[in-house]
Amino acid sequence: DRPLVSVLQDLAEMERRQGIVRTAGRRFQFDHQQIRDVVYEDLPERLREEYHAMTAEAHAATADFDPIFVADHHLRGSRPEGARPCLDAVGEMLRHRDAEEDVVEIASRALRRPGLLEPDARMDLVVRLALHLASLSRTVEARELLSEALAATDDAGQKARAYRALADQFSVSGQPDEAQRMLAEASRHAAQSDIRYIGADIDSSRSQAAWLRGDLTEAREAAEAYLAVTREVGKPSFIAFALNRLGGIATEQGEHEDAEGYLDEAEAIAQSDQPSRQRMFGGNYRSVLLWRMGRFTEARELFEDHLERARTLAHRRAELYAHANLGELALRMGRPPQA
């Protein structure tokens, strides 16, 4: 790092000769972002960190502050503990898969700060980040993150959550046997913990793994157990998720009336509460149902809507599924060029 006095002298000279830098009280204003970036890199590290901390604190004092902005600057700054109250917002964006790459980096930076988070809060962020990375098809990163978290804890509840998240990774990667092994580990550790509702989360993952290996009876049984708990908890987004899952399973079982009932209820909830992601998944399950019922044109229209939602949400795996389903449906409709 250059001495601060040298940086300030250069800025004063640029202001005097070229007019592309101007003083504004104790701050400098730059006409070009590139100049600002070069000057920033020249600042001593401790001063950069102090500026980030001051920026975060000033923004947090405003009426409508952005918690993501505050967390970002605090984690770059000299007082990273100031980010703690804002990391819930980071976790929520990851959970709803609404996170851009900058939010992924903020979460990663928080996890790299030793002692910043309590163990339970840390595991919560690890799981949410891993599931988000998996939704972007970054499964290697997701598994490494979870494996590191497992190696770093002896807590049974935290291990149960990490094994359950790993099971989901293996399920979506087409490795149901490995997923089943992870779920057995998750259940074993869950029995030794007092984390509320961890059994329901494992039921959700068990349902997905069973469905993927073709055991629709177990898949539906596990999904119904998960639905019962979500109704007890009363969180609409979880209820809609469970209903969409059951709609998909019932469709595969050929029980179209049951499937329609599940999906209708999920859609009503999604429209009023947690629209974007659950509407996307619900639309996909309903498209498959219409397809199985022979209503190909309606199915294609819904698959196209699903594709647009997946693109809007940057959900790459959902986008891939939509393309695959549209291709197969085109073949069924006798339109090979479209496929």
pLDDT at 94: 84
In this prediction, residue 36 carries a pLDDT of 58
Reported confidence tier of residue 136, pLDDT bands at 50, 70, 90: confident
Average pLDDT, the chain: 82
pLDDT digits (tens, 9 = 90+) for 18-50: 444 555 554 555 555 665 566 566 666 777 788
8 pLDDT above the threshold of 60: no
> Which of 43-47, 80-84, 118-122, 130-134 is predicted with the least confidence, judged by mean pLDDT?
43-47
pTM: 0.70
Q: Is the pLDDT confidence value at 16 over 50?
A: no
CA distances from 47 to 11, 24, 92 (A): 16, 18, 32
The pLDDT of residue 243:
94
Alpha carbon distance 324, 211 (integer Å): 19
307 vs 240: which has the higher pLDDT = 240
CB-CB neighbours of 193 under 10 Å: 16
Instruction: Name every residue whose Cβ is closer than 8 Å to that of residue 220 and which is 6 or more positions away in sequence.
Output: 207, 246, 249, 250, 253
Q: d(Cα 245, Cα 236) in Å, to the nearest integer?
A: 14
Instruction: Give the model's pLDDT for residue 311.
Output: 80
pLDDT tens digits, 172-202: 788 888 999 999 999 999 999 887 788 999 9
Asked if residue 15 has pLDDT above 50, the reply is no
User: What three-state secondary structure class fits 23?
Assistant: strand
Considering 82-86, 98-102, 300-304, 307-311, the range whose residues carry the highest mean pLDDT is: 82-86
Asked if 125 and 107 count as a contact pair (C-beta separation under 8 A), the reply is yes
**Between 120 and 218, whose confidence is greater?**
218
Distance CA 110, CA 81 (A): 10
Which residues are 23's β-sheet partners? 28
Over residues 161-172, the pLDDT tens digits come to 999 999 988 887
pLDDT tens digits for range 205-258: 999 999 988 999 999 999 999 999 999 988 888 899 899 999 999 999 999 999
pLDDT digits (tens, 9 = 90+) for 264-298: 998 888 776 554 666 777 777 888 888 888 888 88
Looking at residue 276, its pLDDT comes to 62
Read off the pLDDT band of 125 (50, 70, 90): very high
